[in-house]
Amino acid sequence: MLRNLVLGVVAFLALAAGLFILLRPDPEVAGVERPPDKGREHVDETQIQYDSAAPTSGSHLAGAPNCGSLSDHLELGLAVHAVEHGAVIVWYQPDQEEELADPLRDFLSEWDSHWILSPNGSIDEPIVATAWSRRKTFDSPSEGLREFVQTYRQRGPEKVPCGV
């Protein structure tokens, strides 16, 4: 009888631990904006309208961009597809390229996948980081940006490789 009770308690604890691991919420970063999820539909249109210069979800192009550092502005329809695949996009103001592009590229080289660096002339802040339904602004590469990338990288609704 005691043996059955012990086995039952052990089985219950194992089940409880498994459920906790499966159901616990993913970590979040303080101060991160959480725009509503606007869906994940693939469309053929090249001119998709977004309510932000750095969108985090919504209808997007069927093609997906390569990860890594870009010298030209990443098309927003491709950007949304990238965050759907779990990439973090770090946008910077092109008029600050001299001050930001190389430091950000060096900063992001810490990770071997799931990041894109792109200029974006429509953002109002020096740096905007986006992931699926997450966005935060930064003045410079910082521990806060590192925490954002580390926390939200590879957390999109689709798990697709995206090496740099």
Average pLDDT, the chain: 90
Task: Give burial (CB, 10 Å; 0-12/13-18/19+) of 77.
Answer: buried
Q: What are phi and psi of 148, to 5 degrees?
A: -60, -50
Q: Say yes or no to pLDDT of 111 above 90.
A: yes
What the block records as the tokens of 41 is 């539909």
Q: What is the pTM of this model?
A: 0.85
- Cα-based distances in Å from 31 to 23, 27, 43: 23, 13, 32
Of the two residues 3 and 19, the one the predictor is more confident about is: 3
Structural domains for the chain: 32-152 (3.40.30)
Per-residue model confidence (pLDDT) at position 20: 53
Structure-block tokens of residue 61: 């192009």
pLDDT score at 47: 72
> What's the rounded Cα separation, in Å, for the pair 103 and 99?
7
> At residue 67, what is the residue type?
C
- Element of type H or E holding 23: helix 2-23
Residues 58-70: tens digit of each pLDDT:
999 999 999 999 9
Q: Is residue 76 pLDDT above 80, yes or no? A: yes
User: For residue 18, what pLDDT is reported?
Assistant: 52
Q: Which two tokens stand for residue 97?
A: 């390229």
The mean pLDDT of 79-107, rounded to a whole number, is 97
Is-contact 158 57, C-beta < 8 A?
no
Higher local confidence (pLDDT), 116 or 4: 116
3-state secondary structure 73-107: CCCHHHHHHHHHCCCEEEEECHHHHHHHHHHHHHH
Segment 24-75, tens digit of pLDDT: 457 899 999 999 999 999 998 777 899 999 999 999 999 999 999 999 999 9
What value does the CA radius of gyration of the chain take, rounded to a whole number of Å? 19
Phi, psi of 51 (to 5 degrees): -90, 10
